[in-house]
Amino acid sequence: MSEEIKTQAPPEASAPEVSPLDSGAATEVKEVVRRKGGRSVPAGIAFVNATFNNTKVTFTDFHGNTLCWSSGGKNGFKGSRKSTAYAAQVIAVDAAKKAQALGMKEVEVRIKGPGAGRESAVRGIASTGMEVIAIKDTTPVPHNGCRPPKRRRS
């Protein structure tokens, strides 16, 4: 009786498995350089809150997620100097530079409040080289709602 010994041949080199999402074409993988925080946001919204005592500037993406912010106290202004137009410009430039580091190039500005830093904050954002797409005033205006506080004594 002759016994045949069957040996299995090594599996042939087959093509690597392709996921169903791939189209089958060879794709080139490029290394992406990540910025600080792992985000790169090309456009967003700048909220300028200009009160009588301070000015705050916040940069967000279009979903409302805060990317960076700046205020008078954060930039070393104290007391009545926080409410000046110069302070608002410095605050806006500081926040805009942080936003540019995250890749922001275009911004929509929304201003709220009656403070002195309304226009100068927009000027500061534009001076950093960011393109201002739109300027909106979102100051809340009462339609004869709550009674206002009594007048200041002078």
Q: Where are the domains of the chain?
A: 39-137
Tell me the CATH number for domain 39-137.
Answer: 3.30.420.80
pLDDT tens digits for 56-67? 999 999 999 999
Cβ–Cβ < 8 Å for 112, 47: yes
* CB proximity list for 48: less than 8 A, separation 6 or greater: 55, 56, 57, 88, 92, 109, 110, 111, 112, 113, 117, 118, 121, 122
What percentage of the chain has pLDDT greater than the value 70? Answer: 75
**For the residues 51-57, what does the mean pLDDT come to?**
96
Q: Looking at the predicted structure, is the pLDDT value of residue 28 above 70?
A: no
CA distances from 143 to 83, 89, 114, 136, 146 (A): 27, 31, 17, 19, 9
Which pLDDT score, from 0 to 100, does residue 20 have? 53
Output the pTM of the full model. 0.71
* Of the listed ranges 11-15, 92-96, 115-119, the one predicted with least confidence: 11-15
State the number of CA atoms in the 13 A half-sphere of 144 facing the CB.
0
Would strands 43-50 and 131-137 be described as parallel, antiparallel, or unpaired?
Answer: unpaired
Cβ–Cβ < 8 Å for 123, 93: no
**Distance between CA atoms of residues 108 and 140, nearest Å:** 18
* Nearest alpha carbon to residue 57 among 110, 102, 10, 114: 110
**For the residues 132-144, what does the mean pLDDT come to?**
94
| Inter-helix orientation angle 85-101/118-127, to 10° | 40
**Distance between CA atoms of residues 16 and 21, nearest Å:** 14
Which pLDDT score, from 0 to 100, does residue 9 have? 61
Which pLDDT score, from 0 to 100, does residue 23 have? 55
Which pLDDT score, from 0 to 100, does residue 2 have? 56
